Amino acid sequence: MGIGVKAPVVWKKRILIPFWILRICIMVFIIAAYSWAIKVLKDQGDGRKGLPRTHSIVLFMLMTVIVLLLDILAILLFLRDRLTPNTFLVMTSAQTGFWVGVLIMETVAVANGASALGLIFVLFCLLSFVGLLIYAIVKYRKAKREGKRGQYALAYNPSGAPITPTAGHHPPAFMNAAPYREETTYNQTTAYKPQGAEFASQVEPPAYYYQAPAKPTQMV
């Protein structure tokens, strides 16, 4: 009975790497900017008119750190070939959901008279996460379709040697089978034997072969 083998997931580096680099740079910039903002608030006094409170900035910075850590985790899983479509979709959905919430709050702030520069920046950040979310959805649907078609099952190997399938190539069982050897017993001697000698040695010759021929004088 064959053993089911999951087909390996092929990720496109030209899509993942640029998005990861862009998002990590954005997250590091936001963390640095908000760290500086917390220092300014402490120097000028927390809760002054027109300035946000420290705890709200700390909360936002904490969520940004979590988003950054999720990207780092996805990169580590990708390097170890353990990044699955399901895991990638869940992480990307959580990150995108966070930025959708930030966009809603920023839109409300702009409607109340705040500057629109923050809204533009949030939109830029959100697009960087939506791009990978679309790719994650495509990979998830593709993996789901391949799962419905069934998994490849290794055929029985008569040689008993383990078969290790590689990506995109599964050799048939006969290529792993031991070479055919005919069990034949050969004579362990180099002496020449005429054809049929073995058969003749197994048949007893007639008795007259051992009698001397009759002389002419004895014939009547």
Strand spans (E) along 14-170: 152-153
C-alpha distances out from residue 32 to 22, 35, 59, 150, 213, Å: 16, 5, 14, 49, 124
In this predicted structure, what is the pLDDT of residue 80? 92
In this predicted structure, what is the pLDDT of residue 40? 80
In this predicted structure, what is the pLDDT of residue 3? 47
| Reported confidence tier of residue 1, pLDDT bands at 50, 70, 90 | very low
The mean pLDDT of 8-21, rounded to a whole number, is 90
For the ranges 98-102, 146-150, 172-176, the one whose mean pLDDT is highest: 98-102
Which sign, positive or negative, has the C-alpha torsion 100, 106, 111, 112?
Answer: positive
Greatest alpha-carbon span in the chain: 156
Rounded percentage of the chain residues whose pLDDT exceeds 70: 60
| Reported confidence tier of residue 19, pLDDT bands at 50, 70, 90 | very high
Q: Per the domain annotation, does 52 fall within a domain?
A: yes
Q: Per the domain annotation, does 218 fall within a domain?
A: no
Q: Per the domain annotation, does 9 fall within a domain?
A: no
pLDDT, greater one: 137 or 152: 137
pTM exceeds 0.75, yes or no:
no
Q: Per the domain annotation, does 171 fall within a domain?
A: no
Q: How many CB atoms lie within 10 A of CB 166?
A: 8
Predicted confidence (pLDDT) per residue in 66-112, tens digit: 999 999 999 999 999 999 999 999 999 999 999 999 999 989 988 88
Residue 2, pLDDT > 50, answer no
Q: Per the domain annotation, does 210 fall within a domain?
A: no
Q: How far is Cα 172 from Cα 186, in angstroms, rounded to an integer?
A: 34
Q: Do 77 and 15 meet the contact criterion of CB atoms below 8 Å apart?
A: no
In this predicted structure, what is the pLDDT of residue 159? 60
Q: Per the domain annotation, does 192 fall within a domain?
A: no
Q: Per the domain annotation, does 100 fall within a domain?
A: yes
Domain range for 126: 15-145
Least confident among 19-28, 106-115, 170-179: 170-179
Q: Per the domain annotation, does 176 fall within a domain?
A: no
- The count of domains in the chain is 1
